[in-house]
Amino acid sequence: MEQLLAQLGRQWYLLLALVGVAALLLLNGAAYVHVMRPRSGTLEWISRYDRPACTLLDGWTALTIGDIVPMLSVTLGAAAVWGAAALVTARSLYGSPVPGDVLAEMAVTHMVFPALTALAFYRLLRGLFGSRLGALLGTWILTMSMAVQPSPMLVAALAALLLTRYLTAPAQSAFGEYSLYLILAFAMAAVGCYLRPGLAGVALTMFVLLCCGAADRFVHAGRGRLVRSLLAGLLSLAVVWILTYVPGGVAQGLPFPQLLVLRDFYEYALHRMGWELLNGLGSGVSPIVQFYFDWPLVICGTAAFVVCLVGGFRRPKAPALLAAGWMAALTVLWLLGGLYLVPLGCALCLSSLWADLSQRGQPWLAVVAGGSILLVQLTLYGFYWLT
């Protein structure tokens, strides 16, 4: 007990941050409930009794010229923040000057990858929730999460963007207009799984969300659209198979194209898929260690997840439910020992709430909440590096 008290005394900033996060959740939670309360006589109040359709179809927001500055800010900011952090770490490991090959590798993994992740994630948030402010705050929250690994997060962000673009396609759009997004999403996830088995859980999450999207298209667009949706899924799986397991089978010495009818090839493919999924669950760092470095975001994201889940069914609001689905799946994978990609789900749920506040004419509440979380993240990481 004395050792625990002594440890807490040395890390007093953790207790201070915990008090700050608790106050942030209480104050912003009360403000959010008050702002989002339906006003009597409005369409939203009427929708409590005459519930509108809960669908993702026709739910994608196009970019405008006003998005240029926010996109540049998050892209350049992510490269600068991650590059500076990587440079400080490299100097502590290799001394000064840092070797050229190390600098070249850092430029790709800790500058280019985070910049592309921020760009893709901003586009995802802007298209899904329609709020420029919510997308900007959510992307900065994700950028400041230093506990994630850059390359898996880039693959997950791009795959989530492409899959969401498919799920939100107009109900009457042509098959070729939206099937390409799904094919690219699963092809990217498949190649990522082959190179990094920990991404197999992300691919499984995408498949579950695809099934939900197919059911949504069937309910709101008819059987014909469901057939096209399933056809797009089969095409995406075919592309995945060609890009991953066929080259692997050739590398195993199986003849091409005869391997497509050989039993040994399918046994190899099934074994490879099972290995990716099981090995992926043991490829991450201990959840306790990652929670220690990123606990303010995880706590705030969990609170936002509960609000998205409850509010998504009550209002109803399909984008909030999609964000909650990502958060739940990524959290389960993380707790099972998989890759730590929970910040993506946290930022999705938080951005959904901030978009609601912005659309209700209370953007300052979103700015205060997002700025407070960013301040806590910056303060904690600063103390971690100094101590």
- Taking only the tens place, the pLDDT of each residue in 30-71 is 666 666 666 655 555 555 555 566 677 777 888 889 899 999
- Residue 288's pLDDT is 73
Most trustworthy range by pLDDT among 98-107, 221-230, 280-289, 361-370 = 361-370
Phi, psi values for residue 153, rounded to 5°: -65, -35
What does the mean pLDDT of the chain come to?
77
Cα 139 from chain centroid (whole Å):
10
Of residues 122 and 89, which shows the higher confidence score? 122
First to last CA, the chain: 22
Instruction: Provide the pLDDT confidence category of residue 4 given band limits of 50, 70 and 90.
Output: very low
Contact 212, 325 (CB under 8 A): yes
Angstrom distance (rounded) from CA 56 to CA 164: 9
The per-residue pLDDT for range 150-167, each reduced to its tens digit, is: 888 998 999 899 889 888
Closest to 308 (Cα-Cα) out of 327, 292, 332? 327
* DSSP code for 258: G
From residue 171, alpha-carbon distances to 195, 223, 236, 315 in Å are 35, 12, 20, 22
Copy the structure tokens of residue 211: 């099934």
Give yes or no for a cis peptide into 97 (omega within 30° of 0). yes
Of residues 26 and 224, which shows the higher confidence score? 26
pLDDT for residue 117 is more than 90: yes
User: Burial, 6: exposed, middle or buried (Cβ in 10 Å; 0-12, 13-18, 19+)?
Assistant: exposed
**Considering only 99-103, 337-341, 358-362, which range has the smallest mean pLDDT?**
99-103
User: Burial, 286: exposed, middle or buried (Cβ in 10 Å; 0-12, 13-18, 19+)?
Assistant: exposed
Closest to 186 (Cα-Cα) out of 236, 121, 232? 236
Mean pLDDT of 63-88: 90
- Residue 91's pLDDT is 78
Angstrom distance (rounded) from CA 118 to CA 140: 8
Closest to 150 (Cα-Cα) out of 202, 179, 114? 114
Of residues 330 and 219, which shows the higher confidence score? 330
Instruction: Provide the pLDDT confidence category of residue 17 given band limits of 50, 70 and 90.
Output: low
- Residue 116's pLDDT is 94
- Residue 135's pLDDT is 93
Mean pLDDT of 193-210: 78
Looking at residue 116, its amino acid is L
Phi, psi values for residue 312, rounded to 5°: -65, -30
Phi, psi values for residue 167, rounded to 5°: -65, -30
**Considering only 33-37, 109-113, 306-310, which range has the smallest mean pLDDT?**
33-37
Share of the chain above pLDDT 90, in %: 16
- Dihedral Cα 133, 136, 141, 147, nearest 10 deg: 160
314 contact partners, CB below 8 Å, separation of at least 6: none
- Residue 1's pLDDT is 46
Closest to 260 (Cα-Cα) out of 271, 248, 246? 246
Q: How many CA atoms lie within 13 A of 68 on its CB side?
A: 3
